[in-house]
């Protein structure tokens, strides 16, 4: 509750109560009391007593009746005199009663306000928790606030929003899934159709050559070509197999610097348009890793850099392998000076079948496989930076003890 607002409210209530109390006491109850005790009334009653006695003297036959009236008038006069005698005490008691009544009303009003405020706070807290759950992606929220006031309407809107979001999320997931499958089917169809078409044409030629024995050498060449196309189809299916049956890494603790250095030495001439440059950490970096899988990852990253540079005006470039420690993790940054990843696919490059290459030049599975390998190491693979001056991928490895834990 806002304390300043509560203090202003309480002060306002007290001032209003004091004003009402004063007005009621002075202008209403006090005024009536003063009116009842006007000296003129007592004087009139005294004159009435004197008149009744005089009347009784003049009309003796009505003496008893007049005496009775005299007694009644005198009693009334006595009451007024006694009240006059207690005027101050009566007014004081009346003020106390008024004060107690106003105090009671204020206490009840304050209590009711506090109860209402605490209920409001509880409802607001429920709304806040619902919003937290909504932001966390929880679907079909049930807040259970059926109030007809603003908060109740807000609760209903949050519930409706969560239902709408759930519908949209399912629809989006379905469409995304459908899109992935469509892209997959398109790539598969192309990857399979190209060698199959080539093989069919070559087989037709082979049949023609077999009918002409003098062209046996050409027939052999065609048969070899068919074999190449089928080999290409085999490599394609092998990629699927490696993605689908990616084994778990066999982790052993190695010095990451040494492993990367060996890679840089071994693959120094593997990519004609690439120069591999090593920036060591200057101290051993023990990491639990699968050497073969790490090599596969680095090869894939360098392949991508090489292909990107080749597509970018066919120029040469450098891939820098930079080792360091970041917090409790060991980090390997793989940075090239290529054209960078297009922004429109930057957030999706680790998804399967996402690639900038034309159909037939790659399946878009490489980075997805690399990401999976690093995740299986308990680490991660992320894009640290990607601009028109180059891209840096960061491979993160946990500390060996933490990985063991």
Residues forming contacts to another protein in the complex (CB under 8 A) are 49, 53, 67, 70-71, 74-75, 77-79, 81-83, 85-86, 88-90, 92-94, 97
Least Å from the CB of residue 84 to another protein = 10
Closest to another protein by CB, 8 vs 100, is 100
Between 102 and 381, whose beta carbon lies closer to another protein? 102
Q: Which is nearer to another protein, 78 or 401 (CB)?
A: 78
DSSP 1: -
- Work out how close the CB of 14 gets to another protein at its nearest, in angstroms, rounded to a whole number: 23
Distance in Å, CB of 116 to another protein, minimum:
25
Alpha carbon 372 to its chain centroid, in Å, reads: 26
CA geometry: angle 36, 38, 39, nearest 5 deg:
140
* Closer to another protein by Cβ: residue 15 or 83: 83
- Measuring CA to CA, how many Å separate 230 from each of 189, 210, 226? 15, 20, 6
Residue 28: alpha-carbon gap to chain centroid: 61
Chain Cα centroid distance, residue 159: 15
Q: Which is nearer to another protein, 22 or 181 (CB)?
A: 22
CA distance 352 to 345: 12
User: What is the smallest separation between the CB atom of 97 and another protein, expressed in angstroms?
Assistant: 6
C-beta of 53: minimal distance to another protein in Å? 7
User: How far is Cα of residue 222 from the mean position of the Cα atoms in its chain?
Assistant: 62
Q: How far is the CB of 88 from another protein (least distance, A)?
A: 5
- End-to-end Cα separation, the chain, in angstroms: 46
**Residues ≥6 apart with Cβ < 8 Å to 320:** 277, 278, 279, 333, 334, 335, 336
- Residue 35 Cβ, how far from another protein at the closest point, in Å? 13
Q: Which is nearer to another protein, 67 or 167 (CB)?
A: 67
In whole angstroms, what separates CA 271 from the centre of its chain? 45
- Name which of 70 and 353 has its Cβ closer to another protein: 70
What is the distance of C-alpha 394 from the center of its chain?
A: 27
């Amino acid at each position: 509750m806002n304390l300043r607002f509560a203090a202003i409210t309480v002060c306002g209530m007290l001032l209003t109560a004091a004003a009402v109390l004063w007005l009621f006491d002075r202008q209403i109850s006090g005024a009536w009391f003063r009116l009842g005790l006007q000296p003129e009334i007592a004087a009139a009653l005294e004159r009435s007593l004197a008149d009744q006695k005089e009347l009784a003297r003049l009309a003796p036959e009505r003496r008893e009746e007049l005496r009775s009236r005299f007694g009644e008038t005198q009693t009334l006069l006595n009451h007024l005199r006694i009240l006059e005698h207690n005027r101050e005490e009566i007014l004081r008691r009346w003020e106390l009663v008024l004060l107690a009544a106003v105090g009671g009303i204020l206490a009840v009003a304050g209590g009711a306000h506090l109860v209402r405020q605490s209920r409001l706070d509880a409802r607001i807290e429920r709304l806040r928790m619902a919003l937290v759950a909504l932001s966390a992606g929880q679907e079909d929220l049930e807040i259970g606030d059926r109030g007809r006031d603003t908060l109740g309407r807000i609760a209903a809107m949050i519930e409706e929003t969560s239902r709408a979001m759930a519908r949209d999320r399912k629809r989006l997931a379905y469409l995304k899934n459908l899109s992935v499958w469509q892209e997959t089917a398109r790539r598969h169809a192309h990857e399979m159709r190209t060698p199959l078409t080539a093989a069919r044409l070559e087989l037709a030629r082979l049949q023609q050559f077999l009918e002409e024995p003098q062209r046996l050498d050409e027939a052999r060449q065609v048969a070899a070509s068919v074999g190449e196309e089928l080999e290409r189809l085999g490599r394609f299916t092998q990629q699927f197999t490696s993605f689908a049956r990616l084994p778990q890494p066999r982790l052993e603790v190695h010095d990451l610097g040494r492993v990367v250095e060996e890679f840089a030495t071994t693959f120094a001439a593997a990519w004609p348009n690439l120069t591999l440059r090593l920036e060591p950490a200057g101290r051993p970096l023990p990491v639990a890793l699968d050497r073969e899988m790490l090599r596969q990852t680095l090869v894939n990253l360098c392949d991508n850099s090489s292909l990107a540079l080749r597509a970018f005006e066919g120029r040469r470039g450098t891939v820098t392998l930079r080792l360091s420690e970041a917090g409790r993790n060991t980090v390997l940054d793989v940075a090239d000076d290529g054209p960078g990843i297009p922004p429109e696919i930057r957030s999706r490059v680790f998804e399967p079948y996402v690639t900038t290459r034309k159909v037939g030049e790659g399946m878009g599975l490489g980075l997805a496989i690399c990401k999976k390998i690093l995740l299986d190491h308990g680490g991660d693979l992320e894009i640290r930076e990607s601009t028109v001056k180059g891209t840096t991928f960061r491979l993160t490895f946990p500390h060996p003890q933490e990985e063991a834990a």
